[in-house]
Amino acid sequence: MSVNTSARLPHTPELDSDGIFADEPLREARERVRRGDWQAARKVIEDAGQDWELRGLRIGWLGLAASEDDGWVDAWLRAEPSDPTAVLIQAGTLIRRAILARGIASTAKTTAEQFQGFYTHMEAAAPVLRRAMELAGPQDPMPWADKLRTMFADQQAREGSFDEVYAEARRRDPFNFEVHLLAVQLRLDKWFGSHEQSFAAAREIADAAPAGSGVVLLPLYAHLEYAKREYHWDVTGDEPKAACAAYLRRPEVEEEVDRVIAKWRTDTPDSALVPILLQWLAIYYTLARRRGQAKAVFDEIGPRVRPRHDWAYFWETPETGYLTSWRWANGI
């Protein structure tokens, strides 16, 4: 009698282009704002309260929707021109257009037109962001996070005000994930820093943060960035992945990464960041060829996922990287 072995195979994950399926209020709000209902955007952001990371993610997704069609943002600003959230979304929309204009490729693979689009949108965002900072509440770190983001376009501005902006953002929300991730990114070798500076920044905040905080995993992010830069930058094929695996399997690297993962796992909050952070773990375990742990994380991520752009740093596209790694982890 033949056996249907395919019945025992796990279902291939559904790739969700939106990536917000786990946040049903946000999904509903986004559909309403696409029909011009800006009040839905205001409410879903207000409902996040002072959970600044959830608030930031919701603002980010709505800003992404506005980068495609910002008519509802314009209507909100006409009705409430001094609403700090509306002004912040307007600034964030311009910043996201800049990021989309540049793309995620390396400098060598980015055209002059892409760079020009990046700088043009960033320049347009600057005065809007200054107004958002003026209007922000006393505890809101998000305009300062966006200010850090604009510094990728202007090294001179970064050198002149980075410490001041970073300190104010930390004062408002000491362990805000987006703030510290941007600070580590600005200190990367590929931007305005060095490997030593990015590792120092990641370790300093990870050591200070409480268990369960997303910033505890920033040393893992720094190791992935180091592996990408040193062994996989603008190189394709299996050889660079083997070099990445050898690096990530060094005893001192495994010891540090396992330690920060354990600290994060000790008290993992019910955070909107968890789907992002689990993908970092999946990338690490896959590159390090730790199949059992990779499979466990893929199972934890679940059947629907929007692959993070980080996968494209080691595979051709985020989707290819995610599905290739998922199949390997599941022995398919």
Task: Report the 10 Å Cβ neighbour count for 239.
Answer: 11
For the chain, what percent of residues have pLDDT higher than 90? 61
| pLDDT tens per residue, range 254-283 | 999 999 999 999 987 667 889 889 999 999
The pair of three-digit structure tokens given for residue 72, joined into one six-digit string: 């509802």
Q: In this structure, which long-range contacts are made by residues 146-153, counting pairs with CB atoms below 8 Å and at least 24 apart in sequence?
A: 146/88, 146/91, 146/92, 146/95, 148/179, 148/182, 148/183, 148/186, 149/95, 149/182, 150/95, 150/122, 150/125, 150/126, 151/186, 152/122, 152/185, 152/186, 152/191, 153/98, 153/118, 153/119, 153/122, 153/123
pLDDT at 254: 97
Q: Stretch 74-83: mean pLDDT, rounded?
A: 95
pLDDT at 4: 44
Q: Are 220 and 260 in contact (CB under 8 A)?
A: yes
Query: Rg (Cα) of the chain, in Å, rounded?
Result: 20
Q: Stretch 287-306: mean pLDDT, rounded?
A: 94
Q: Stretch 121-136: mean pLDDT, rounded?
A: 90
Q: What is the dihedral of CA 153, 158, 160, 164, to 10 degrees?
A: 130
pLDDT at 97: 84
Q: Are 187 and 155 in contact (CB under 8 A)?
A: no
DSSP helix/strand/coil, 15: strand
Helices (H), the chain: 24-33, 38-46, 52-68, 71-79, 84-102, 112-135, 142-150, 155-172, 177-186, 195-208, 218-227, 238-248, 251-266, 274-287, 291-301, 318-329
Q: Is the pTM of this model over 0.85?
A: yes
Residue the block writes with tokens 């985020």: 318
Nearest alpha carbon to residue 167 among 196, 141, 204 = 141
Q: What is the dihedral of CA 224, 230, 235, 236, to 10 degrees?
A: -40
| Integer Cα distance of 219 and 206 in angstroms | 7
| Integer Cα distance of 241 and 287 in angstroms | 7
| Integer Cα distance of 332 and 275 in angstroms | 23
| Integer Cα distance of 238 and 255 in angstroms | 25
pLDDT at 154: 64
What residue type is assigned to position 328 of the chain? W
Residue the block writes with tokens 């299996």: 238
14 φ/ψ angles, rounded to the nearest 5 degrees = -85, 125
Q: Stretch 146-158: mean pLDDT, rounded?
A: 75
Lowest mean pLDDT among 64-73, 209-218, 322-331: 64-73
pLDDT at 263: 96
CA atoms within 13 A on the CB side of 258: 11
| pLDDT tens per residue, range 95-115 | 888 877 777 666 777 788 888
For the chain, what percent of residues have pLDDT higher than 70? 91
| pLDDT tens per residue, range 3-17 | 344 446 678 998 877
| Integer Cα distance of 278 and 307 in angstroms | 11
β-sheet bridge partners, residue 14 = 304
The ranges assigned to domains in the chain are: 19-154+162-173, 208-332
- Inter-CA distances, 178 with 140, 170, 217, 330, Å: 13, 11, 12, 32
- In total, the chain counts a number of residues equal to 332
